[in-house]
Structure 1
């Protein structure tokens, strides 16, 4: 989606709540996709997994009707966010009853959709993951297993996907894809109106099993469960220093066909990955995921639960984040601001890797970004070597970048040598990146100023990047070319600004230069070079 490859999965959110999230958060923060829970009619009951037992392919589940679904797609598109629908197409129900849309059904008989002949003949629970046929034709958790080799079933599923497509859906998560032969999924995709639509398939890796995730890459992307499993292991019982080179070289799917994630609704419940109960360990794992080069990240946003079966609070209505048990992981500053980081560093590799040999790491993304992650029990102070251009950078872990180059939190000064020094607290991170559109121009300040020992020269000005006339936020100049003091600063192209120089002595006392405010304008691209002389 225009280079935006991060998905937010809003698990069991009602569609009208998803629409609000697209407008308020997902679009502005730069998410490329939102994945929504299954929209089709399903069995009744409060548990989350009732959504995964289809009764028909009408949009008539607990999360909203056809109109609210369509309105959600439109709102997300208007916010620049594409929509992925979770498509449950391997099976129907485990029992009999009446669906959420009023359809009466019995197992193997779903009026208007399927009857007995449309299901595999095994009719027993899956019992042997070493047997491909058993896994793909028997019943997952006792759910009626569709005969996905049948032309009628393939066509019916394709029509369902096309119906969602007619409402504007951009892509599909194929639930339980491991339990459908890859060739049968290919046949279904070929029968759809848009066989080039984005697909991501749920295929859980099992060591030594005959069915491997790599079989499915011809149909689209595949969820890489090993990424989440390994991140839990490294963050809880290994060293972050060992994450150098993390990615496809660890035996994973190729990066371009993998969806990477820290957790999802199944893994947060079965303990195979980290989850929201792990506090800042969970946050830092998501920060690392987004800063890394591997895969297309999926940020999971669910709700707190006491029992594994607990369904969504308020039937899926999110009145506000952080209320009623809604975690809103996608909106946490430390995570949401790394989406902008990832978008800005797209196309770059990992550079300037640093670690303390233990649980503190840092690395750059080319000349676009730099992140430091401290999973130690105490703070670390370090001078980091980056590939960043000299300038002032917003630490997006602790503040939000502002239009025009400001920041609502702390900033760091990267010198002409590409270095900056930071103290990173325990369980915390620092992330800097070149704001899109701000790296094309700048100002080079040079002032001839004679100083006494212990005195340093600073520049301050009327724009946020120059401290907004606050001497405490004035930017230090380098004395490397003394008596000329220098600073290179990136600014948005076309920025007109006023500025003055000041001196600070060892005690912090400030002396302003005399005269009127100086003025300059950063060009649309390139640098404005300012050669000034201190006015006593």
Structure 2
């Protein structure tokens, strides 16, 4: 269950007072939905703790996804975090003690914590090595944990690597780019992984992103998580591929699934007709809304170019506005660092420890982009919390612009065009003055009169108003 920080509790009281004064329906507990997650990619545990207190809690984020916390191979690249050496909670992002302290600090700020769980495989290194916490390993031998017998050697391709995603057996038993593939159908492997997840839960975390879930049969994941406490969050990475035999819906029995089609389609409609964004999620071929996790980008897609990313600037911000304004799925905001080399990792010290994130303007390679702090994104997180589950109303679209409301609680306009948008639009917001929650001004006010609002939205920009933001 997501915890409500003091700010959210105060917001409920303020909205109740506003309701009494304006005639707006008094919000119920269901109205006050907090569901937005944020992936703080490669942020240290200390930096996440500070961000929970200073930004995530106050801005209304419900949960934060950390990078994998287990011991991994040594190296500067980002993907070293996704090559486990052991299940010790010790990585270049911090110690076990720092992780536990971060979880408690985030909980105190009203923010749940999820861990990225890498359980499909171990390393992809052909030569022996030592992990970042001192554990020795070879490709198929991990002293005290795994022996060669605990891994798949599929024999379906010349080098045991996946060659065809049209072959389910290859995808789920062969190696993904040489990563030693665990035999998750065996009781020994399952119980060892379950013990690791239970250990993370003992540190207070609330859920898991199951990395590379597509490369494990759904029944294997089901067996691994079966004994976890009721209410443990599960979100599985199952990349949808055209005509492939492995599909996201096969994993719904285990929990939520990342709907990759959403990010790809959102990029397309924003470049063409933003009004079509209102229809995203209505296809019967997509994961049902209550089981879908949606995003504009993540650490993989920003590198392979399959979605928008921070380099797309205004368009990227507008995509996040549309995602957060919509009603399909559970949204996750992504926040990482700038790069030109797709393999480049975050800035590190001489010992290979990642430096704490520091947000600034005009990020260069290695600098933290901090998208979750952008006014358009942070403002929409609060907006989404205010509108809750209110129905979509007052829909309007024309050319490169789209506008809609959420009941009588909020209204948003997105202008993806190259010209200023000026229009008089119908809205169900109660009459009165409202502040644009996406503006950096103290209160860029607009007036609703007789159910109409006059908007002047600059090119490639958005504006949003809700019943909590009044002059």
User: TM-score, normalised to structure 1's length?
Assistant: 0.78
For residue 456 of structure 2, what is the aligned residue in structure 1?
A: 423
Please list every run of at least 4 consecutive aligned residues from structure 1 whose deviation after the TM superposition is greater than 6 angstroms: none
Partner residue, 1:374? 415
> Distance between the aligned counterparts of 1:316 and 1:104, measured in 2?
21
Give the equivalent residue in structure 2 for 1:74.
Answer: 104
Listed one character per residue, the Cα deviations across residues 89-109 of structure 1 (whole Å, up to 9, x for unaligned) are 000011231000101100111
1:42 aligns with 2:80: no
> 1:486-516 deviations in whole A, cap 9, x for unaligned?
xxxxxxxxxxxxxxxxxxxxxxxxxxxxxxx
Aligned to 1:384, what secondary structure does the other structure show? strand
Cα distance in 1, alignment partners of residues 219 and 439 from structure 2: 48
Matches within 5 A, 1:353-502: 353-356=395-398, 358-399=399-440, 408-415=442-449, 417-435=450-468, 465=471
Instruction: Give the counterpart of 2:303 among 260, 269, 273.
Output: 269
Q: Pick the aligned partner of 1:106 from 112, 120, 138.
A: 138
Which residue number in structure 2 is paired with residue 333 of structure 1?
375
Determine the structure 1 residue equivalent to 2:336.
302
1:259 aligns with 2:293: yes
Contact 1:333 1:397 in 2 (8 A): yes
Tell me by how many angstroms 1:393 deviates.
1.1
Q: Which has the higher strand share?
A: 1
Match of 2:346 in 1: 312
User: 1:250 offset after TM fit, Å?
Assistant: 6.6
Secondary structure in structure 2 of the residue aligned to 1:208 = coil
Task: State the 1:319 CA deviation.
Answer: 4.7
Partners of 1:434 and 1:218 in 2: CA distance? 38
Matched, 1:200 2:250: no
Q: Deviations over 1:182-224 (max 9, x none)?
A: 01100001133x1531000000000111100001111111011
The 3-state SS of whatever aligns with 1:111 is: coil
> What's 1:29 paired with?
59
Shift of the alpha carbon at 1:370?
Answer: 0.4
Summarize deviations over 1:442-481 as a string: whole Å, max 9, x none. Answer: xxxxxxxxxxxxxxxxxxxxxx84xxxxxxxxxxxxxxxx
Q: Secondary structure at the match of 1:260?
A: strand
Distance in 1, matches of 2:227 and 2:329, equals 28
| Residues 278 and 326 in structure 2, CA contact (< 8 A), matched pair in contact too | no
Provide the C-alpha distance between the structure 1 equivalents of 2:212 and 2:458, rounded to a whole number of angstroms.
41
Cα offset for 1:349? Answer: 1.8
Name the CA distance, whole Å, in 1 between partners of 2:53 and 2:120: 33
SS at match of 2:197: helix
SS in 2 for 1:256: helix
How big is the shift at 1:325?
1.1
Shift of 1:120: 1.3
- Maintained 8 Å contact 1:155/1:188: yes
What displacement does 1:387 show? 0.9
Please provide the CA RMSD for this pair. 1.4
Q: 1:319 to 1:37 in 2, by over 3 A?
A: closer
Contact 1:313 1:326 in 2 (8 A): no
Task: Name the larger-Rg structure.
Answer: 1
8 Å contact 2:78–2:343 — kept in the other structure?
yes
8 Å contact from structure 1 (residues 241, 360) kept in 2? yes
Deviation (angstroms), 1:59: 0.9
Matched, 1:181 2:181: no
Aligned to 1:222: 257
Query: How far, CA to CA, are the matches of 1:257 and 1:61 in structure 2?
Result: 31
Tell me by how many angstroms 1:243 deviates: 2.2
SS across alignment from 2:166: coil
Note the C-alpha offset of 1:240: 1.1
More helix by share: 2
1:43-69 Cα shifts (integer Å, max 9, x gaps): 000000000000000011110000110
**SS in structure 1 of the partner of residue 85 of structure 2:** strand
RCO comparison, higher one (Cα < 8 Å, 6+): 2
Task: Flag structure 2 segments of 5+ consecutive residues without an equivalent.
Answer: 4-32
Q: Does the 8 Å contact 1:92/1:144 carry over to 2?
A: yes
Runs of at least 5 residues in structure 1 that lack an aligned partner in the other structure: 401-407, 439-463, 466-536
Matches within 5 A, 1:16-165: 16-95=46-125, 96-122=128-154, 124-165=160-201
Residue-pair matches, total: 427
